[in-house]
Amino acid sequence: MTENLYEAKYEAGDEAGETLRLLAALPPPAELTERVHRRLAEAQAVPERRGFWSLWMPAQRFQFAAAAVLAVAVAGSMWNVYHGHPQTRPGARTASPVGSGTQAGAPDAGGGFDGAKAARVPPTLNPIKVPPAPKKKPGAGHAAKPSPKTLAGQPSGTQADVKSATNP
């Protein structure tokens, strides 16, 4: 029963299948094979384009390796340029610009820049005077400090008296 149904459907569709079979059986144009042969011959006549890499290094594995090595070298040198360059110190002499008006042989104190006669005096040249710290006597360091218990029983203000007693 199922097969009959399948066959019935097959035949119904096969009516349309006839059109597709006619379409599939349309003859190819004349001299198709000759044209294909000619095209293939032309394609072979043109030398295969070879890139820079294949000229230098034929094996693809080596090309990748060489490219990787070059990339690492370039990255390393770039890192060196940016991070390994000596920083210019504030007092370092730099080249004066051409035609800046400085005479040849004259000392180039400003590095080509004029400070408009302004003289900056750093604060370290006029140091702040700090009074000397009081000297401790040799025996005073060993004096016993009053315990917090003894101080707790006394009224505030007597601590100074105790200190003055221990430190005459």
Partner 1 sequence: MEIPGTSEKKSLGYSDIAGAASDASAMAIAALVDQYAGTLYRVAYSVLRNTADAEDAVQETYLRVLRHRDGLGEIRDPRVWLVRIVWNVVLDRKRRAKTRPETDDIADLARMLPVTGLTAEERVASAQHHENVLRAVAQLPEKEQKVLILSAFEELSSVEIAQVLGTTESTIRSRLFRARKLLSTLLSHAQGQFGSSR
Enumerate binding residues for partner 1 (CB under 8 A): 6, 9-10, 12-17, 19-29, 32-33, 35-41, 43-45
CB nearer partner 1, residue 17 or residue 76: 17
CB nearer partner 1, residue 35 or residue 163: 35
Shortest reach from residue 30's CB to partner 1, in Å: 11
In 3D space, the residue among 87, 89, 92 whose CA is nearest the CA of residue 110 turns out to be: 92
CB nearer partner 1, residue 59 or residue 125: 59
| Alpha carbon distance 44, 63 (integer Å) | 25
Q: Which residues in 127-145 are b (16+ Cβ under 10 Å) and which e?
A: eeeeeeeeeeeeeeeeeee
Shortest reach from residue 47's CB to partner 1, in Å: 10
CB nearer partner 1, residue 38 or residue 137: 38
Do 104 and 127 form a contact (C-beta atoms < 8 A)? no
| Alpha carbon distance 110, 102 (integer Å) | 11
Shortest reach from residue 6's CB to partner 1, in Å: 7
- For residue 66, give the amino acid letter: A
Shortest reach from residue 25's CB to partner 1, in Å: 7
Q: Which residues in 8-31 are b (16+ Cβ under 10 Å) and which e?
A: eeeeeeeeeeeeeeeeeeeeeeee
CB nearer partner 1, residue 26 or residue 144: 26
Shortest reach from residue 53's CB to partner 1, in Å: 19
